[in-house]
Amino acid sequence: MARDPQAALVALNRFGFGARGGASGDFLNAASDPRGFVKTELGRPNGALLEVPGLQSTPALGKAVFDYQFEIQQARDAAARSAAPSATGEGASPRPAAKGQRRNLSLNGIAMEMAPKEPQAKPAENPGTMTPAEAMQPNAQKLPPQPLNIIQKTFRAEALARLQRAVITDCGFVERLVLFWSNHFCISANKGGPARMWAGSFEREAIRPHVLGRFGDMLKAVEQHPAMLFFLDNQQSLGPDSRAGKNRNRGLNENLAREILELHTLGVGGGYSQDDVTALANIITGWTYAGRLGQLGAPGSFVFNANAHQPGAQRVMGKIYDAETVAQGEAVLADLARHPSTGKFIAIKFARHFVSDDPPPALVARLADVFTKTNGDLKALALALVDSDEAWKTPLTKIRSPYEFLIAAGRLLAQIPNNPSLYLGGLKTLGQPLWSPAGPNGFPDSNAAWLAPEGMKLRLDIATQIASKLAESVDPRDLLELAAADTASAETRRTVERAESRQQALALLLMSPEFQRR
Amino acid sequence: METTMGCCEEIRSLSTSRRAVLLGGASFAAWAYLPKFARAADGRDPRLVVVILRGALDGLATVAPTGDPDYAGLHGSIALSSSGPNAALPLDNFFSLHPAMPEFSRMYREKKAAVIHAVATPYRDRSHFDGQDVLESGFAGPGRVQSGWLNRALEGLPKGERVTSALAVGPTTPLVLRGAAPTVGWAPLVLPQASEDTAMRLLELYQHRDAALGSALKQGLALDKAAQGDDMKPKTGAGGVAAMRLAARGAARLMAADNGPRIGALAFDGWDTHANEGGPVGRLAQLLGGLDGALAEFETGLGERWRDTVIVVATEFGRTARVNGTQGTDHGTGTVALLAGGAVNGGRVIADWPGLKPASLYQGRDLAPTTDLRAAMKGVLKDQFGLAERVLAESVFPDSAAVKPMQGLDDGNRNLLRNLIHLRQFLRIQHPADRPHVLLDLFDAGGAGDDAGDLRAGGQPGEGEFEHGVAARLRERLEFFDDVLIACRDVAILQHRRLGEAGIGRGITAAFVFAGEKAARQREERQ
């Protein structure tokens, strides 16, 4: 049995989410057949799908969020109406009350209003004396606990399912691919209620089925997903000459079209012009989702609204598209997926993510070639990477992103999360809030971004916090063995062994180059 | 009985789910029951606090044998002296206390504090992890043990009324208190940062292995320091010296309640002073100042209950008698344990002093241990709670029948060693060949001991109020945390400011925020 610890480290960390603790034997398995260890996951049919009981489809979630928002709106209107009669003119006294009322008209405030009132006073409450617990926590706010709304509940359930998968999965290469593509085609949950509601289902429905499939299929699924349409405003975009556009005196929104060209396919410098952006924006007018009342279709499902669609042929990248239906846009997407600029753009991004910030040009060229020749076969692309020498010989110089870091820690510590809070909080602190990048270009993917002074300090603090929670039940010396085995440097080994406590040893292990680099 | 079982289950499941929540500072955990051991006979309602100092406390710097002719030479530049500027605080004509501990010194003078010197667990190697395992597990050697001696001691007590339920969260329950008997934890709202010591160790590793990580971290630390002002004191442990006080303050208030827990454990990190340990001032002085403050917080916070309290401060092993090449000390063996509290029969240093002559040093380098720490722990458990010697020797400290409980540590025990006693002087006369744990039996004057007959029946006024009024609300808060706990920097800054106003905050840029839930919630909701 061949044994190659250095290659095992590459298999586990460059391609995967790091070795799992417990009795997984990940390091040994990876060392005995590094490439096989990585490739096994690619051979599992539907291995990228995430089907967890309780997670709902986008239309079902859409209906729920529309209904929720509608109720909120109604309650808000009702509150405004009931406040109005009491306002006896412009006198000073009613104003603060109205103001206070408005402040309470937040989603949760209203959700609270609607919720059955809980008995307010707890028994045996003595207002005269401070309880020990209160005394201890002078800064504690005495907020009554508010029930989570449907959006928050959904987001947390989706997050938990994804985190659990990442922590338990064997090598993690497929999950890393999901992460890559999900970030490539990112939406942000911060856009609003529907985006937060759909952040998980978007990934489950538009990304995962195609991670080992075709780029063109993923592209189409993404651009027609309600989450993306909402995120980049396409549901508001009306063809200026469409019936809806004329009736409502509103028009085009180029947001989605631009990002399709700039971020999703050709890339900046990929050869498109403003005219191409405008033409594509016209072409995808009418790409929207059905609303609460379901006039266009099942609420929360993708629909082509011919009434909003800009009539007529359009020219994109020199080619005329004259279909009058959704097929017009689908044809453009299919051509964009095949465009050489797309292959190059994807290849360099892919190599940069997995191999190094400055990937070997030969590798990038080969990946682009595979992408183009296989017509965007993403499994072939992944295999080409695993089969390349460069992926195994290039030193592990990239620092783990916060997500990769926290997941790797969870795996090593064998902590299958039953609550996403720890991860959501950690990700936010470290600047990579789940499904919420600052812009449509996604989270950065370079050492420059994650290996920043402030980030490193925060990372150390987070490692310390994790260690303070979990170190008692583990032996950091064993964990170092599981994570890095023979590849652990003498210095790291010594640093862990000589730590003054398990907590300190674990924090140092989590911060060691062996654990931080991939 | 069935109810009890149900409660245990609940506690366990709750604490499991709480593990997902991060927060920090020094941790405190306590027993979830009000034991029925309050003694009707003498009206005592004893409290016991165990403080674990992780990293190995330099006992020779904490309680310096200034009367030992070899001490100054061995401890070199960091040796304390009994006179001059920054003089150590005299305890007797032989031992002096580190000047950073004026509160302990006062308690000592008031005979409410005692020192046990040249003490060690049965562990004789020098690994922190293994040493802490032995210290906290109560077993004679290292090995993976899932329960601690204090928890097993609890199992030997009648349960009484349950006083708290899933009271609050803490980073972890120290091993000493882990086990079958249900416990609860609490941690102060100090958001933990990595200690300076941890950061320095990491920087050194990076310096050898990864310059880019090192440079980024170095800058990050510098930025952080600049943001906090440069008059800050060195950080120690999880949250630093202030966190020690804060943890103690909170723990004391909890334990002071009529139906609060009677038994608790805390753990403080940061005592591994390999370099620049410092003498009367410096790194160890800071830590000892924090510990001293924590003891004072207990005294204040426990109020009337201080009278019935024993605090035991213990560490996994000591440090080398000789100062090393970097003005610090390396892993050693014999060290000190400290006792404080109104129930302590104090004002004495209990030591079978082995001396510091080269031949007397353990393996030629460490203060030789002459007292088994388990003897002290057993003595405290026996005096405070009347645990039977058999239980102590079999389940609490397995296979320790040969280690007899130290007698007379407890002030309520009418048994003495009231004046300074260097045990060796007695022991030499009486049984020179043997070690004190055997001979201490000679001092046994028949205390409350094994007698369970004086245990007061449970049921105190006001019981249950805590459960209903506070714990329930806290539980709500906690469930709430579980659900919306969000760490975000803007809230953290707010929190930082607040803590700063309260005089405890520094270095809270990375934060898992609890008090900021309102802002966090608004943030979520805005989406």
- What are the boundaries of each domain within chain B? 2-193+240-473, 196-234, 486-527
- Inter-CA distances, B205 with A43, A450, A489, B212, Å: 40, 19, 10, 12
**pLDDT value of position B83:** 86
Of the listed ranges A306-320, B142-156, B179-193, B365-379, the least confidently predicted one is: B179-193
A38 to chain B, closest Cα gap in Å: 27
The rounded distance, in Å, linking the Cα atoms of A458 and A460 is 5
Contact B79, B64 (CB under 8 A): yes
The larger pLDDT score, comparing residue B225 to residue B433, is at: B225
Residues 6+ apart with CB under 8 A from B527: A151, A189, A190, A191, A192, A193, A195, A196
Residue to mutate among B22, B177, B331, B517, with most A CBs inside 10 A, is B22
Closest residue by Cα to residue A371 from A346, A354, A399: A346
The rounded distance, in Å, linking the Cα atoms of A135 and B225 is 30
- Inter-CA distances, A337 with A260, A346, A360, A440, B157, Å: 10, 10, 24, 19, 72
- Taking one residue from A and the other from B, the number of pairs with CB-CB distance under 8 angstroms is 272
A499:B24 CB<8 A: no
Residues 6+ apart with CB under 8 A from B192: A461, A464, A465, A468, B23, B24, B25, B171, B238, B239, B243
The rounded distance, in Å, linking the Cα atoms of B101 and B340 is 12
Closest residue by Cα to residue A492 from B131, B208, B273: B208
Range of A203-207, A447-451, B32-36, B85-89 with top mean pLDDT: A203-207
**pLDDT value of position A204:** 98
The larger pLDDT score, comparing residue A481 to residue B462, is at: A481
Give yes or no for residue B14 having a pLDDT over 60.
Answer: no
Closest residue by Cα to residue B47 from B29, B63, B35: B35
pLDDT digits (tens, 9 = 90+) for B134-154: 999 999 998 767 889 998 988
B469:A123 CB<8 A: yes
A352 to chain B, closest Cα gap in Å: 18
Give yes or no for residue A167 having a pLDDT over 50.
Answer: yes
**pLDDT value of position B175:** 83
Any alpha helices (H) in A374-420, and if so which ranges?
378-387, 390-393, 402-412
Residues 259..288 of B with a Cβ closer than 8 Å to A: which?
260, 269-272
The rounded distance, in Å, linking the Cα atoms of B271 and B61 is 12
Please indicate, yes or no, if residue A82 is contained in any of the structural domains: no
Closest residue by Cα to residue A380 from A263, A217, A215, A265: A215
Q: Which residues of B touch A139 (CB under 8 A)?
A: 189, 495, 498-499, 502, 515
The rounded distance, in Å, linking the Cα atoms of A57 and A198 is 9
The larger pLDDT score, comparing residue B128 to residue A206, is at: A206
A133 to chain B, closest Cα gap in Å: 7
Closest residue by Cα to residue B342 from B221, B256, B216, B432: B256
Closest residue by Cα to residue A302 from A63, A69, A58, A64: A58
Closest Cβ–Cβ partner in A132, A144, A500 for B260: A132
Q: Which residue of A has its CA nearest to B245?
A: A136
Q: For a pLDDT cut of 70, what percent of chain B falls above it?
A: 62
Q: Are residues A439 and A366 in the same domain?
A: no
Q: Which residue of A has its CA nearest to B463?
A: A124
Residues in chain A: 518
Residue to mutate among B28, B210, B522, with most A CBs inside 10 A, is B210
Contact B146, B406 (CB under 8 A): no
Query: Which helix or strand (DSSP H or E) is residue A82 part of?
Result: helix A58-86
Q: Which residue of B has its CA nearest to A141?
A: B515
Closest residue by Cα to residue A384 from A357, A365, A358, A359: A365
B115 to chain A, closest Cα gap in Å: 24
Give yes or no for residue A401 having a pLDDT over 50.
Answer: yes
Buried b / exposed e over B172-204, threshold 16 CB at 10 Å, is bbbbbbbbebbbbbbbbbbbbbbbbbbbebbbe
Half-sphere exposure (Cβ direction) of B261: Cα atoms closer than 13 Å: 30
**pLDDT value of position A391:** 97
Query: Which helix or strand (DSSP H or E) is residue A73 part of?
Result: helix A58-86
Contact A203, A48 (CB under 8 A): no
Closest residue by Cα to residue A468 from B402, B345, B198, B30: B198
- Lookup: tokens for B524: 């979520």
**pLDDT value of position A145:** 62
Q: Which residues of B touch A144 (CB under 8 A)?
A: 476
Of the listed ranges A436-445, A504-513, B253-262, B315-324, the least confidently predicted one is: B253-262
Is B360 in the A-facing interface, judged by CB distances under 8 Å?
Answer: no
The larger pLDDT score, comparing residue B285 to residue B476, is at: B285
Q: Are residues A384 and A440 in the same domain?
A: no
**pLDDT band at residue A489 under the 50/70/90 scheme:** very high
Q: Are residues A461 and A497 in the same domain?
A: yes
Closest Cβ–Cβ partner in A141, A489, A511 for B517: A141
Q: Which residue of B has its CA nearest to A195?
A: B527
The larger pLDDT score, comparing residue B262 to residue A297, is at: A297
Q: Which residue of A has its CA nearest to B527?
A: A192
The rounded distance, in Å, linking the Cα atoms of B104 and B88 is 12
Residues 6+ apart with CB under 8 A from B511: A429, B191, B487, B489, B491, B492, B495, B496
Closest residue by Cα to residue B152 from B310, B384, B387, B314: B387
Q: Are residues A347 and A447 in the same domain?
A: no
Q: Are residues A357 and A464 in the same domain?
A: no
Query: Which helix or strand (DSSP H or E) is residue A513 part of?
Result: helix A513-516
Residues 482..521 of B with a Cβ closer than 8 Å to A: which?
482-489, 492, 495, 498-499, 502, 509-512, 514-515, 517-518, 521
**pLDDT value of position B220:** 84
B124 to chain A, closest Cα gap in Å: 16
Q: Are residues A362 and A412 in the same domain?
A: no
Query: Which helix or strand (DSSP H or E) is residue B339 part of?
Result: strand B335-340
Q: Are residues A503 and A474 in the same domain?
A: yes
A122:B468 CB<8 A: yes
Give yes or no for residue B182 having a pLDDT over 80.
Answer: no
Q: Which residues of A touch B224 (CB under 8 A)?
A: 454, 457
- Lookup: tokens for B145: 């043990």
Query: DSSP class of residue A96?
Result: H
Give yes or no for residue A131 having a pLDDT over 70.
Answer: no
Mean pLDDT of A90-118: 39
Is B420 in the A-facing interface, judged by CB distances under 8 Å?
Answer: no
**pLDDT band at residue A217 under the 50/70/90 scheme:** very high
A145 to chain B, closest Cα gap in Å: 6
Q: Which residues of B touch A126 (CB under 8 A)?
A: 465, 469
The larger pLDDT score, comparing residue B355 to residue A83, is at: B355
**pLDDT band at residue B126 under the 50/70/90 scheme:** confident
Closest residue by Cα to residue A287 from A248, A233, A206: A233
Closest Cβ–Cβ partner in A108, A422, A462 for B525: A108
Q: For a pLDDT cut of 70, what percent of chain A falls above it?
A: 88
Of the listed ranges A144-153, A385-394, B171-180, B338-347, the least confidently predicted one is: B171-180
Q: What is the DSSP string of B313-324?
A: EEES--BBSS--
Region of A444 (left: φ > 0; alpha: ψ -120 to 50; beta: rest) is beta
**pLDDT value of position A2:** 53
- Lookup: tokens for A423: 């991860």
A274 to chain B, closest Cα gap in Å: 31
**pLDDT band at residue B38 under the 50/70/90 scheme:** low
pLDDT digits (tens, 9 = 90+) for B421-467: 333 333 333 332 333 222 222 222 222 222 222 222 222 222 222 22
Is B202 in the A-facing interface, judged by CB distances under 8 Å?
Answer: yes
The rounded distance, in Å, linking the Cα atoms of A456 and A27 is 26
The rounded distance, in Å, linking the Cα atoms of B40 and B455 is 7
**pLDDT value of position B429:** 30
Please indicate, yes or no, if residue A369 is contained in any of the structural domains: yes
Is B4 in the A-facing interface, judged by CB distances under 8 Å?
Answer: no
Query: Which helix or strand (DSSP H or E) is residue B376 part of?
Result: helix B373-385
**pLDDT value of position A442:** 93
**pLDDT value of position A432:** 93
B525:A516 CB<8 A: no
Q: Which residue of A has its CA nearest to B211?
A: A513
SS3 B12: helix
The rounded distance, in Å, linking the Cα atoms of B10 and B16 is 10
The burial class, CB within 10 Å (0-12 / 13-18 / 19+), for A347 is buried
Q: Which residues of A touch B271 (CB under 8 A)?
A: 500
Q: For a pLDDT cut of 90, what percent of chain B falls above it?
A: 40
Please indicate, yes or no, if residue A200 is contained in any of the structural domains: no
The larger pLDDT score, comparing residue B460 to residue A343, is at: A343
Q: Which residues of A touch B145 (CB under 8 A)?
A: none
A124:B256 CB<8 A: no
B202:A189 CB<8 A: no
Q: Which residues of B touch A491 (CB under 8 A)?
A: 205, 208-209
- Inter-CA distances, A74 with A110, A114, A295, B352, Å: 10, 11, 20, 80
A413 to chain B, closest Cα gap in Å: 13
Q: What is the DSSP string of B261-272?
A: -SEEEEEE----
Q: Which residue of B has its CA nearest to A476?
A: B129
**pLDDT value of position A144:** 54
Q: Which residue of B has its CA nearest to A149?
A: B525
Partners of B33 in beta bridges: B162
Residues in chain B: 527
Contact B279, B85 (CB under 8 A): no
Q: What is the DSSP string of B403-463?
A: SPPPPS-BGGGT----S--BHHHHHHHH-TTS-HHHHGGGG----STT-GGGBPPS--TTT
Q: Which residues of B touch A501 (CB under 8 A)?
A: 54-55, 128-129, 132, 269, 272
SS3 B51: strand
The rounded distance, in Å, linking the Cα atoms of A226 and A237 is 14
B518 to chain A, closest Cα gap in Å: 8
The burial class, CB within 10 Å (0-12 / 13-18 / 19+), for A297 is middle
**pLDDT value of position A122:** 34
The burial class, CB within 10 Å (0-12 / 13-18 / 19+), for B394 is middle
Q: Which residues of A touch B199 (CB under 8 A)?
A: 460
Of the listed ranges A159-163, B192-196, B291-295, B402-406, the least confidently predicted one is: B192-196
Q: What is the DSSP string of A152-171?
A: HHHHHHHHHHHHHHHHHSSS
Q: Which residues of B touch A428 (CB under 8 A)?
A: 486-488
Residue A371 lies in domain? 340-393
Distance of CA A3 to the CA centre of its chain: 36
pLDDT digits (tens, 9 = 90+) for B345-390: 999 999 999 999 999 999 999 999 999 999 999 999 988 888 899 9
The rounded distance, in Å, linking the Cα atoms of A38 and A29 is 10
Q: Which residue of B has its CA nearest to A122?
A: B469
A512:B472 CB<8 A: no
Give yes or no for residue A126 having a pLDDT over 60.
Answer: no
Q: Which residue of A has its CA nearest to B471?
A: A133
Q: Which residues of B touch A138 (CB under 8 A)?
A: 502
B527:A421 CB<8 A: no
**pLDDT value of position B32:** 63
HEC profile of A334-381: HHHHHCHHHHHHHHHHHHHHHCCCCCCHHHHHHHHHHHHHCCCEHHHH
pLDDT digits (tens, 9 = 90+) for A32-64: 999 999 999 999 989 999 999 999 999 999 999
Buried b / exposed e over B456-465, threshold 16 CB at 10 Å, is bebebeebeb
Q: What is the DSSP string of B110-138?
A: TT-EEEEEEEE-S--S--HHHHHHHHHH-
Closest residue by Cα to residue B343 from B27, B31, B118, B47: B47
pLDDT digits (tens, 9 = 90+) for B231-290: 334 443 444 677 788 878 888 887 888 777 788 888 888 898 888 899 999 989 999 999
Average pLDDT of chain B to the nearest whole number: 70
Q: Are residues A409 and A507 in the same domain?
A: yes
SS3 B482: helix
- Lookup: tokens for A303: 């629909």
Q: Are residues A409 and A494 in the same domain?
A: yes
